[in-house]
Amino acid sequence: MRKKNKTTFLPGIVIPSLVFIFGVTILSVFFPNRTEYYLSIVKNILFENLNWLYVMVVTIFVFFLLFLFFSKYGGIKLGTNDSKPEFSFFSWVSMLFAAGMGIGLMYFGVAEPISHYADAAFGDASPIQRAKSAQLYTFFHWGIHAWSIYGLVGLSLAYFTYRYRLPLSLRSCFYPILKEKIDGKAGDLIDMFALCSTFFGITTSLGFGVSQLGAGLVHLGVLDEISFTSQILIVVGVMTISILSATTGVAKGVKLLSQINIVAVVVLLIFILIFGPTVYLLGSFSENLGYYINEFFNLTFATHTYEPAHKEWFFNWTILYWAWWISWSPYVGLFIAKISKGRTIREFIGAVLIIPTLFNFLWMTVFGNSATWLDQHTAQGALAAVANNTDILLFEFFKYFPLTAIVSVFAILILVIFFVTSADSGIFVMNNISTKNAAVSPKWQMVFWGGMLALLALVLLNAGGLKSLQTMTLITALPFAIIMLFFCYSLVRGLFIDNEYYMRPLSHSTNSWSGTYWRERLESIISYHGKNDINQFLSKTVKVAFEQLAEAFKSNDIIAEVKSSLTESPHHVEIKIQHENMADFIYGVQNVEKTVSDYFRTEENAPDIEHQRTYIPMTYFGDSRKGYDVQYFTKEEIISDVLKQYERFLSLSSDEKNEIFLGQNIREDD
């Protein structure tokens, strides 16, 4: 009997997402101009009035990740403490790089520096200063800030997936806030947002990338013009390879293509470096890097409020970039998380922030500085003149190098591979979201998402609706930026609990344990106490111990007072030695309420506890130090513990440097 190939799609995520995707596509196809008009109004309102918010949230992401890198949490693994990375370091970096920035480097490596160089916003500066500023802002847009956006989402997903054993899904990042509710409607809504955002981001990139590939083929004379038929052939070819890559899995297809990609771009980079103004490029890299480091804080917090002439440039570049990186972060973050199991948090942040950033800087220096140098010395302004036509700018740039045709064909091949690596990882991520990280899914689901991407990209290309889709993607970035702030909060809560769990020492009450009373100890450990039980312990054990100790103090001419309150909340007993010239010695025990987790109460093979709340006897001291549980102490052990604390008190009191703390009685009286 033939086994049916069932789907792993979750209807609560997939159906509403498809309805929304088709709804937006229909508006973009049948009413492209009107849709773009209204969406642009919304986008402009957000960019003009809330640009400071984009700046601040991205700044928070940068410094939050830097804090984690240098903190004690950096050594925590994304997985169990003994887990090992699934991929080699080279394969890992290649894949996260190809998924995160790959195709953008080919598209903007020449285009962005030349655009800044030729922009009227910098028109008053000298050509040299314009070239420096062009590289500075290109570094800014493609550096640590961009990767911190991806890094935050990727780290949150990897941590809660591999450390907390939750699904590889954005909903899992809310576990410390929502707990079990992440499996309900709230979790579905979060994943729907991620699925739609990923789909739109890849669709628009695929559409605009097809336009650049077509322009390159026309520029080389392979095509006479960019027709819809040629666009169909390009899309079908790219998506067929992408689907084949995605269905072979991350460890095979995606990994192989990413490694080919990184080798190919390095070859192209070396070619431009050798046949370009080599000495100038090497020197400019050092200067560009130093300029970026020197201006880092100014760039990070700048909103150009005092420079109204730069406002439009600021909206069209920096704010648009921050919105674009945020809108892509669910897709890139999910993919980075998928390949990062077994890495430490410090290793993850260091690799994600530094390695791609340094490569981006080198790439932008070699291509960008070559372009501005050629424009000044050889092209006589020809490159700046076509700065607005980014589809052909890269190929115009290649005209000033030997083997132009071969290099252009090689660049097109790299573009194709970049498209494939972006699309295949995107297909994988979308299937992951729509199945809530199902362990095994039928391959037809990968084909489904690949076909959807190809079909809607072609429909939007033919109807001119890609611009509307891109604008809507940018609009959704702001609410997701707020969601990412909650990621920061959840991650801090999770890491705090994680560190406390693994670093928590044995209970203070176990320090002097021997096997003498082991049966009584066991009975006490597996029993959970009500308020009256602890009050009985305070009355019959703690108070009796304090009274005997007070008598012993009195026989040594030291007055110790025992106070108790077992009728007023909080119930407590304390022994106090009052002083005139220094702080009083106080050792008390109080009845403290404690909440027991639900999953512990429902565990069958664990001590029985009927109620969610239990009570423990907790110590407190006169100097406000944190107390500890003494429920397992015998009367003699309580006396011993008080004497330990009293010995500590006397030792500190005899040290002259501590009188600022121990002279508080005098200061309070004054």
Looking at residue 632, what is its pLDDT?
86
The answer to whether residue 99 scores a pLDDT higher than 70 is no
What is the DSSP secondary-structure string of 224-281? SS--HHHHHHHHHHHHHHHHHHHHT-IIIIIHHHHHHHHHHHHHHHHHHHHHS-HHHH
Residue 160 pLDDT grade (very low, low, confident, very high; cuts 50, 70, 90): very high
What is the rounded average pLDDT of the residues 193-199? 83
Mean pLDDT of the residues in the chain? 84
Every domain of the chain with CATH number 1.20.1740.10 lies at 11-497
| Residue of 343, 354, 353 whose CA lies nearest to 75 | 343
What is the rounded average pLDDT of the residues 349-378? 90
Element (H, E) at 562: strand 561-565
Long-range contacts at 593-599 (CB < 8 A, ≥ 24 apart): 593/531, 596/528
HEC states along 272-302? HHHHCCHHHHHHHHHHHHHHHHHCHHHHHHC
Residue 670 pLDDT grade (very low, low, confident, very high; cuts 50, 70, 90): very low
Looking at residue 660, what is its pLDDT?
56
Write down the CATH number for the domain with range 11-497: 1.20.1740.10
pLDDT, tens digit, for every residue of 109-133? Answer: 888 999 888 887 776 778 888 889 9
Looking at residue 1, what is its pLDDT?
39
Residue 26 three-state SS:
helix
What is the rounded average pLDDT of the residues 229-245? 81
What is the rounded average pLDDT of the residues 217-228? 76
What is the rounded average pLDDT of the residues 497-521? 74
Looking at residue 249, what is its pLDDT?
61
What is the rounded average pLDDT of the residues 498-520? 73
CA distance 397 to 371: 7
Looking at residue 164, what is its pLDDT?
85
Q: Structure tokens of 151?
A: 């890094």
Q: In the 8-state DSSP scheme, what is residue 366?
A: I
Q: Please, where are the H alpha helices in 465-609?
A: 466-475, 477-503, 518-525, 531-537, 543-555, 598-601
CA distance 155 to 336: 8
Lowest-confidence region among 488-492, 596-600, 639-643:
596-600
Looking at residue 254, what is its pLDDT?
63
Lowest-confidence region among 44-48, 385-389, 530-534:
385-389
Lowest-confidence region among 65-79, 298-312, 519-533:
519-533
pLDDT, tens digit, for every residue of 284-303? Answer: 999 999 999 999 999 999 99
Most confident among 138-152, 206-220, 509-523 (mean pLDDT): 138-152
Looking up tokens 């947002």 gives: 193
CA distance 307 to 318: 14
| Residue of 524, 663, 492, 551 whose CA lies nearest to 607 | 524
Residue 368 pLDDT grade (very low, low, confident, very high; cuts 50, 70, 90): very high
- Comparing 517 with 170, the larger pLDDT belongs to 170
| Residue of 280, 110, 293 whose CA lies nearest to 212 | 110
Looking at residue 64, what is its pLDDT?
96
Q: Is the pTM of this model over 0.85?
A: no
Looking at residue 297, what is its pLDDT?
94
Looking at residue 36, what is its pLDDT?
82
Express as a percent the part of the chain with pLDDT over 70: 92
Neighbours of 93 (CB within 10 A): 20
Residue 320 three-state SS:
helix
Residue 167 pLDDT grade (very low, low, confident, very high; cuts 50, 70, 90): confident
Looking up tokens 């806030």 gives: 177
Residue 251 pLDDT grade (very low, low, confident, very high; cuts 50, 70, 90): low
CA distance 298 to 516: 67
- Comparing 667 with 497, the larger pLDDT belongs to 497
For residues 516-547, one letter each, b for 16 or more C-beta atoms within 10 angstroms of the residue's C-beta and e for the rest, the string is eeeeebeeeeeebbeeebbbebbeebbbbbbe
Residue 506 pLDDT grade (very low, low, confident, very high; cuts 50, 70, 90): low
